[in-house]
């Protein structure tokens, strides 16, 4: 005895009931759906791979890291000088580093974003090397030159407003850039005088030691600088820097020397003119 057929739903006038799909059509419909889902999944996978390989993802992460290091430095210096002075000081560091970055761009030398190390300053990492010691000297000069302009802007603001806060910021900015001109690696001054003669690094190391003892610069930064200067000073003593990279004409060496000593002299005079008590 056969089972009774399932009751068909009533059909009303004007209503269309599509015929049930055949067995082959069911598989065809399912296959089409699967292919569609596969294409969608493939597109999302491709999109995800493209996004993961886009350079701007890496750039965005670097920008966030650079910005975070900036505000971390402001917070650190604010513990000693207050927020206002800490922000001004960190901006002066930024201006200094942007000076390096601008000259690097002029010479086509790729470099990183500026990164700040609380208590130790800031840096820009070179991802290539200048073509000669002369270009390296110009890149090194860019930082103190722009930093001097930033400090000079603070000085002129103080003169116009009579606000001693800006005079203190100017003094610290002038000192910061003069210190960076010390003729010892890895400071900017060491890279500049290397174009004149790498043997000056020996004098720079000795001067840094004398200054540290005379002014009681007992802090980790000075120790790190001294340790990093020793290998370069030894290389200069052995005359290993006498190669094509350091080959400059007499005129080029004289030009670098004039720019170096001229900027150092201006910064020293500017410090004397802007000397005030730094706020705490």
pLDDT tens per residue, range 110-142: 877 888 888 777 878 777 777 788 888 999 999
Burial 128-149 (b: 16+ CB within 10 A, else e): eebebbbbbbbbbbbbbbbbbe
pLDDT band at 91 (very low <50, low <70, confident <90, very high): very high
Which residues fall within 8 angstroms of residue 248, CB to CB, at 6 or more apart?
132, 133, 134, 195, 256
- For residue 78, tell me if it sits in a domain: no
- Higher-confidence residue of 23 and 161: namely 161
Whether the Cβ atoms of residue 85 and residue 168 lie closer than 8 Å to each other: yes
Largest distance between two CA atoms of the chain: 116
Q: What is the pTM of this model?
A: 0.71
- For residue 209, tell me if it sits in a domain: yes
User: Which of 136, 102, 140, 88 lies closest to 263, judged by CA?
Assistant: 140
- Higher-confidence residue of 186 and 152: namely 152
Predicted pLDDT at 242: 56
- For residue 16, tell me if it sits in a domain: no
Average pLDDT rounded to a whole number, residues 20-38: 48
- For residue 269, tell me if it sits in a domain: yes
* Cis preceding-peptide flag for 231 (omega within 30 of 0): no
Predicted pLDDT at 60: 67
User: Which of 180, 187, 179 lies closest to 229, judged by CA?
Assistant: 187
Predicted pLDDT at 44: 47
HSE (CB half, 13 Å, CA atoms) of 10?
A: 2
- For residue 202, tell me if it sits in a domain: yes
The parent domain of residue 114 ranges over 83-274
C-alpha 273, offset from chain centre: 31
- For residue 47, tell me if it sits in a domain: no
DSSP state of 126: B
Helix (H, G, I), strand (E, B) or coil at 22: coil
State how many domains the chain has. 1
Task: Give, in order, the Cα–Cα distances in Å from 1 to each of 4, 5, 8.
Answer: 9, 12, 20
- Higher-confidence residue of 37 and 161: namely 161
- For residue 93, tell me if it sits in a domain: yes
Average pLDDT rounded to a whole number, residues 4-29: 50
Which residues fall within 8 angstroms of residue 267, CB to CB, at 6 or more apart?
144, 148, 174, 175, 177, 178, 181
- For residue 146, tell me if it sits in a domain: yes
- Higher-confidence residue of 276 and 196: namely 196
């Amino acid at each position: 005895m056969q089972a009774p057929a399932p009751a068909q739903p009533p059909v009303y006038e004007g209503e269309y009931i599509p015929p049930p799909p055949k067995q082959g059509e069911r598989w065809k419909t399912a296959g089409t759906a699967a292919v569609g889902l596969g294409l969608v999944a493939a597109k999302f996978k491709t999109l995800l791979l493209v996004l993961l390989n886009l350079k701007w993802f890496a750039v965005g992460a670097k920008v966030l890291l650079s910005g975070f290091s900036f505000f971390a430095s402001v917070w650190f210096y604010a513990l000693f000088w207050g927020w206002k002075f800490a922000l001004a000081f960190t901006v002066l560091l930024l201006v200094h580093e942007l000076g390096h970055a601008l000259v690097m761009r002029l010479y086509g030398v790729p470099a990183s974003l500026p990164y700040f190390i609380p208590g130790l300053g800031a840096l820009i990492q070179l991802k290539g090397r200048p073509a000669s010691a002369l270009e390296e000297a110009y890149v090194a000069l860019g930082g103190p030159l722009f930093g001097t302009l930033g400090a000079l802007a603070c000085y002129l603001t103080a003169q116009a407003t009579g606000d001693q806060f800006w005079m203190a910021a100017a003094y610290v900015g002038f000192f910061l850039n003069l210190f960076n001109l010390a003729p010892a690696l890895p400071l900017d001054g060491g890279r500049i005088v290397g174009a004149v003669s790498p043997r000056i690094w020996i004098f720079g190391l000795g001067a840094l030691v004398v200054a540290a003892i005379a002014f009681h610069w007992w802090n980790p930064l000075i120790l790190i600088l001294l340790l990093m200067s020793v290998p370069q000073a030894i290389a200069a003593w052995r005359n290993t820097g006498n190669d094509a990279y350091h080959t400059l004409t007499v005129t080029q060496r004289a030009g670098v020397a004039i720019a170096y000593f001229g900027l150092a002299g201006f910064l020293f005079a500017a410090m004397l003119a802007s000397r005030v008590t730094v706020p705490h």
